[in-house]
Amino acid sequence: MARLVIFAAGALGLFLLVHMPADAGYGAVAYDQDARKAGYAWDETTQQSANDAARRDCGSDNCKVRFEVPPKMCAAFATPDSGSAWGGARRKSLDDATFAATEKCQKHAKQKCVVRESKCTK
């Protein structure tokens, strides 16, 4: 009987470990290119909740999730002070994400691009 209880407890623990996100850290960046509004979400428990939170944070009906950020990744988002150009990137390091986002933005902008948000997920 004791072995059955130990086995059941172990099976329950394994089930919970597999089916529950353990400090999942999903992120997303949403952007309305016409209104120049951006929204961000970090360290959400699912990708869908991160996408929804970023769209809410953006505050425009035309906000679209431009890129998702999986757990243990860094992301950055850059825009110039005016115009519709933007650049986003996700990388393993914050410095690499920031550099890539700025570089992508600069390819489409006539002005200097500035990083508006950068962060790493859990």
Distance CA 15, CA 67 (A): 31
User: Does some domain include residue 51?
Assistant: yes
Distance CA 9, CA 101 (A): 47
Taking only the tens place, the pLDDT of each residue in 4-49 is 445 444 444 444 444 445 578 999 999 999 999 999 999 999 999 9
The answer to whether residue 1 scores a pLDDT higher than 60 is no
End-to-end CA distance of the chain: 41
User: Does some domain include residue 3?
Assistant: no
User: Does some domain include residue 52?
Assistant: yes
User: Does some domain include residue 12?
Assistant: no
Phi, psi values for residue 11, rounded to 5°: -65, -40
Taking only the tens place, the pLDDT of each residue in 40-79 is 999 999 999 999 999 999 999 999 999 999 999 999 999 9
Q: For residue 45, give its domain range.
A: 23-120
What is the predicted pLDDT for the residue at 10? 47
pTM: 0.81
- Our count of domains for the chain comes to 1
